[in-house]
């Protein structure tokens, strides 16, 4: 199993997670105008929300990767079924995000600004859903890019 290999943990902790977190931070900052939080006059509250959401994204993305590794029956990292793992990661993260967005919107924990495109059949913003396709794909490819050897 994947968890029995030090290379698996090294990949997740040293390669995938830092890239996922950095890309999530960039996405959270970029999508700020799509939420009513953007209009809050307290910059420290906006900064807190960005850090909080980025940390949550890192946890969601890492949990989705772990679940994907289990569901795809991944073994040694050299033999990982990359496409299957990625599809599971995206599916799980999207499912979580759909539920989380709906719950948090209903509870009033956050609200969309008029700029957020909303999918009418689920009443969830497009940006948080696209995040869980674009960010993991970019992080996954970046983390799996062959390392250059020094001359």
The pLDDT profile of the chain, 151 residues, written as one tens digit per residue, is 989 899 999 999 999 999 999 999 999 999 999 999 888 878 999 999 999 999 999 999 999 999 999 999 999 999 999 999 999 999 999 999 999 999 999 999 999 999 999 999 999 999 999 999 999 999 999 999 887 655 6
User: Residue ranges of the domains in the chain?
Assistant: 2-144
Supply the pLDDT for residue 42.
86
Supply the pLDDT for residue 63.
97
Is the pTM for the entire model greater than 0.75? Answer: yes
Q: Of the candidates 24, 10, 2, which has an alpha carbon nearest to the alpha carbon of residue 85? A: 2
Cβ contact 17:9 at 8 Å:
no
């Amino acid at each position: 199993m994947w968890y029995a290999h030090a290379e698996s943990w090294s990949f997740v902790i040293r390669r995938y997670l830092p890239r996922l977190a950095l890309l999530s931070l960039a996405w959270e900052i970029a999508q700020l105008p799509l939420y009513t939080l953007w209009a809050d006059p307290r910059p420290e509250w906006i900064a807190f929300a960005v850090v909080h959401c980025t940390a949550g994204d890192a946890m969601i993305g890492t949990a989705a990767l772990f679940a994907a590794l289990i569901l795809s029956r991944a073994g040694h990292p050299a033999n990982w079924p990359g496409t299957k793992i990625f599809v599971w990661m995206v599916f799980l993260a999207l499912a979580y995000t759909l539920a989380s967005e709906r719950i948090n919107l209903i509870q009033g924990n956050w609200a969309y600004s008029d700029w957020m495109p909303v999918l009418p059949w689920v009443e969830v913003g497009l940006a948080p859903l696209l995040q869980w396709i674009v960010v993991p794909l970019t992080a996954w490819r970046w983390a799996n890019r062959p390392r250059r050897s020094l001359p």
